[in-house]
A = this chain, B = another copy of it.
Amino acid sequence: MLFQVEMDVNIPIGFDAEEGARLKAAEKARFQDLQRAGTWRHIWRVVGQYANVSIFDVASNAELHDILMSLPLYPFMTMRVTALCRHPSSLHDDDR
């Protein structure tokens, strides 16, 4: 089941640099685990923003919620979640 998640990251000016680096590294590791698992299907940078557009493939709303809330950078993110489904015109049964 697919969802578009748009994430804006906003780390306040003056935030501890070491802690910031640690959180970003943890976020990257967590992202790559989820990418390998096929859960975090796509991620793209939004040009000019510390933001991404992502596509998640999950079994339920609850699974998506648990993933998003446990992201290391979650406290610094604003999220917009949009439920998606297969488009009837698509030639691919499973649009990845």
Contacts and interface: CB of A to CB of B under 8 A. Distances in A.
A28 to B, nearest CB: 5
Contacts of A35: 90-92
A5 B48 contact: yes
A42 interface: yes
A33 to B, nearest CB: 10
Contacts of A60: 1, 85
B64 A48 contact: yes
Given A5-B48, A48-B79, 15 more contacts: A1-B60, A1-B62, A4-B44, A31-B89, A32-B89, A32-B91, A35-B90, A42-B96, A45-B84, A45-B88, A47-B65, A47-B68, A47-B85, A48-B69, A49-B79
